[in-house]
Structure 1
């Protein structure tokens, strides 16, 4: 007698931008049941041109399922949340009607600050922790372009348990081309470590308006970079999540490469005159540093620099 097969997970992806479009698209390409919740304009382009991925791991033009907010029903087992932090409140309102009674939310936002409002709305047992390591953006013609070989997603239960739903979702991602997936039991530690990396990179690239290599090639750029990395790690340690030695060695190497073209999405947002996630990333780290009485002069300068940029943007005084 054969055992009954479990039904496929129904997955809803909020948006079809760099992260959601790439990982959701790769899932759809592999045959998973994926639907994209998008605005009418994006839906029209997806229907007409398909979801287009330009990637070192293979280009793709995919016919995908889409819907808009007015069509949402509570039938989705998994909702992938990939919005910008400044859109979080609206995003929560958009996905709440879509989550099935036993469904859960997996956010791939930068930082950690989003976890509290998600837990308040859905309950911590219905929210996984997650990180995404990828450099991708939506081009002017609507395609999703992946810049390098970063393609890793990591997720797990906030409780630290390894559950069936985590394993099932990881198995689906494992079938997808151009995706590396890790299901873990220490996701809070992983999220803090990513925040250390991201806060360091955003602090330096936004303050200097340059990529890693351009900063490192200056007389003192590498030293300032590594000092900021150590400061970010000290803040994480004060909050119970000291980064591992292997993590620190890896990012010390990355932030020492004179030929690196690595930049951050926050710098790209500034360069295009857009909104930033400064409060969610640098503002959060600054608050945690002050609570722990940790000196963070470079972080404070970068935060103030970006807040001044926002003032100029609000006054319509950008070049």
Structure 2
């Protein structure tokens, strides 16, 4: 199976690197600067699951290549539009696109470009970043990809993708309810990114602060209420379940959005928080979500 990893950053670099480490046929679609880094130093992973220094194949946008069997899409949401335009030469009739972006709205954008047949549902759980030397740093026990057909069937291509991931130094599982899983992740990451970025803190101090747990739960209730209008099968007590899981996380865990803010980088608040507000019914009361979004937009607009 020929695999194209779109982006060799904190997510694509990590999971793609683990596939290279296994011996899979992997190419990274990158920009010129990243290509030079990878040609000079290789793809370097520093991880609690074991370090790696790997020689990798790269491709610049527009360079000729046959269509790939699987495209693993791991770019930030604000780069998605230009990225999809650059993928056209590498998508064939048998190509599968597995997006690992947070949120839901990107599915429609991918469908507009390539149709519904190529698209899989996907998500990942990982705490990682790209350091100043271009090395992937991965911090915590979880490093998982979840994937599946949006219609829920177990097809030959998801079996092949499962075989691709099997044996790599990562966790991967197939889900027949991938849209539900994506919504659960969206709720989790929306709250995690929103409050850690708003409060400029890792998760532990937030939950331990006066009214921190109460605020987190109220924020989750707002998000879940919107999500259940779109995916009614989500459980009514999902906010409490997610908070219980949050309390089991390492106290020092930060969202990738907060890490990006600490570096002065762009953030995905439009894709995560803004898109959710757009989905909400006009009469829904969303004080915390709107506070988070408004505050993070101040940061985002200040960068511009």
* CA-based RMSD: 1.7
1:214 to 205, 214, 221: 205
Taking structure 2 as the reference length, the TM-score comes to 0.95
TM-score (norm 1): 0.91
Deviations, residues 37-79 of structure 1 (Å, cap 9, x unaligned)? 1111111111111111111111001111111113232421111
Is the CA contact (8 Å cut-off) linking 2:217 and 2:240 kept in structure 1? no
* Superposed displacement of residue 16, structure 1: 0.5
Tell which structure's C-alpha radius of gyration is larger: 1
Alignment-derived partner of residue 287 in structure 2 = 297
Aligned residues: 304
Specify which of 35, 43, 48 is matched with residue 35 of structure 2.
43
- Which deviations, in whole Å up to 9, do the C-alpha atoms of 1:84-116 show, x marking residues without a partner? 000001110121211133112111111011000
Q: Return 255-264 or 102-111, whichever deviates more.
A: 255-264
Displacement after TM superposition at 1:157 (Å): 0.9
Q: Per-residue CA shift, 1:102-156, capped at 9, x if unaligned? A: 1121111110110001011111111101001001111111110101011110011
In the alignment, which residue of structure 1 is the partner of 2:122?
Answer: 130
Is residue 2:164 matched to residue 1:172? yes
Tell me if the contact between 1:192 and 1:241 (Cα under 8 Å) persists in the aligned partners. no
In the other structure, the counterpart of 2:175 is 184
Task: State yes or no: 1:91 paired with 2:83.
Answer: yes
* Counterpart check, 1:63 vs 2:71: no
Aligned to 2:92, the other structure's residue is in SS state: strand
The answer to which of 224-233 and 243-252 deviates more is: 243-252
Q: Distance in 1 between matches of 2:43 and 2:250?
A: 33
Does the 8 A contact of 1:55 with 1:145 survive in 2? yes
* Alpha-carbon distance in structure 2 between the residues aligned to 1:258 and 1:37: 33
Ranges of 4+ aligned residues in structure 1 off by more than 6 Å: none
CA contact (8 A) 2:217 2:239 kept: no
Aligned to 1:3: none
Q: From the superposition, tell whether residues 72 and 186 of structure 1 become closer, same or farther in structure 2 (CA, over 3 Å).
A: farther
Which runs of no fewer than 5 residues in structure 1 stay unpaired? 1-8, 315-319
1:203 pairs with 2:194: yes
